[in-house]
């Protein structure tokens, strides 16, 4: 049986071998340069490994990206498209260059983060499992799940259908996802009653190991051993 002194010695050795994750030291309201970016970091805090291996305003070549995250060894850039000067042509040129150095670029619009954060992170977590939120998040459901229930209510009559839609409109976030894009919105958008959609999409590139090396050098946090210690 180990003595208290032996247990403390073992704990000290483990602590020295597995330094605490420093990625979680900076609060969300000190990250990014906009309300939208801070909202994203608050949501990221609820994911499986919180902010480990994630950095805001990271320079890659001649471009500065909103956020870059190590997703299981894949460097993933998150661009939060809430800026008035957002330009699709400029984005295409920018993304083409960035994809030579990163594994993926995900573009997330303002409405997705501000109005439908659970559904947005359901989508992100499907593409990159480390971005899954802790807990079940039952308020985000797929289009197929919603449609099945919606049509079931329709069969009972228009009054029941209307009541059903009113009850889920404020509480549920619905999403439809494929390999490269997703549509996110309220229940009414998937029942034909509105066109209030947000679209999130991903492009895949070349995963350059040096990019992640620079990321961890900036964070002053080791790649290995820190993920386990950052899970809350």
Give pLDDT tens digits for 138-183.
Answer: 678 888 888 777 666 655 556 666 666 666 666 778 899 999 999 9
Q: Which residue has the higher pLDDT, 54 or 87?
A: 54
Considering the chain, what percentage of its residues have pLDDT values greater than 70? 70
How does pLDDT run across 59-116, given as a tens digit for each residue?
999 999 999 999 999 999 999 985 544 566 677 889 999 999 999 999 999 889 888 8
Alpha helices (H) along the chain: 4-17, 35-44, 88-98, 110-115, 117-127, 143-154, 158-169, 209-219, 226-230
Which pTM value belongs to this model?
A: 0.79
For residues 3 and 83, the model is more confident at: 3
| Residue linked to tokens 């939060």 | 80
Collapsing DSSP states into helix, strand and coil, what is residue 160?
Answer: helix
Which has the higher per-residue pLDDT, 110 or 8?
Answer: 110
Q: What pLDDT, on a 0 to 100 scale, did the predictor assign at position 227?
A: 46
Q: How far is CA 29 from CA 80, 123, 154, in A?
A: 16, 24, 45
Q: What residue segments make up the domains of the chain, in order of their start?
A: 4-230
What six digits make up the tokens of 160?
Answer: 């029941």
pLDDT class for 230, splitting at 50, 70, 90?
very low
Looking at residue 88, its pLDDT comes to 64
Residues 68/71/72/74 CA torsion (nearest 10 deg): -60
């Amino acid at each position: 049986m180990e003595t208290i002194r032996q247990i403390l010695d073992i704990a000290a050795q483990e602590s020295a071998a597995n330094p605490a994750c420093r990625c979680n030291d900076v609060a969300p309201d000190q990250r990014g340069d906009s309300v939208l970016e801070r909202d994203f970091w608050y949501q990221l805090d609820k994911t499986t490994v919180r902010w480990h291996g994630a950095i805001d305003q990271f320079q890659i070549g001649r471009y500065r990206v909103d956020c870059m995250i190590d997703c299981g060894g894949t460097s993933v850039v998150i661009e939060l498209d809430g800026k008035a000067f957002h330009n699709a042509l400029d984005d295409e040129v920018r993304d083409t260059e960035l994809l030579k150095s990163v594994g993926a670029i995900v573009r997330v619009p303002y409405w997705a983060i501000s109005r439908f954060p659970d559904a947005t992170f359901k989508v992100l977590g499907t593409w990159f499992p480390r971005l899954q939120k802790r807990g079940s998040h039952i308020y985000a459901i797929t289009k197929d799940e919603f449609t099945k229930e919606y049509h079931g209510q329709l069969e009972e009559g228009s009054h029941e259908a209307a009541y059903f839609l009113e009850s889920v409109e404020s509480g549920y976030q619905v999403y439809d996802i494929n390999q490269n894009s997703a549509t996110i919105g309220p229940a009414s958008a998937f029942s034909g009653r509105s066109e209030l959609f947000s679209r999130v999409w991903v492009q895949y590139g070349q995963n350059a190991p040096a990019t992640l090396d620079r990321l961890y050098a900036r964070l002053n946090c080791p790649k290995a051993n820190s993920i386990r210690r950052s899970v809350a």
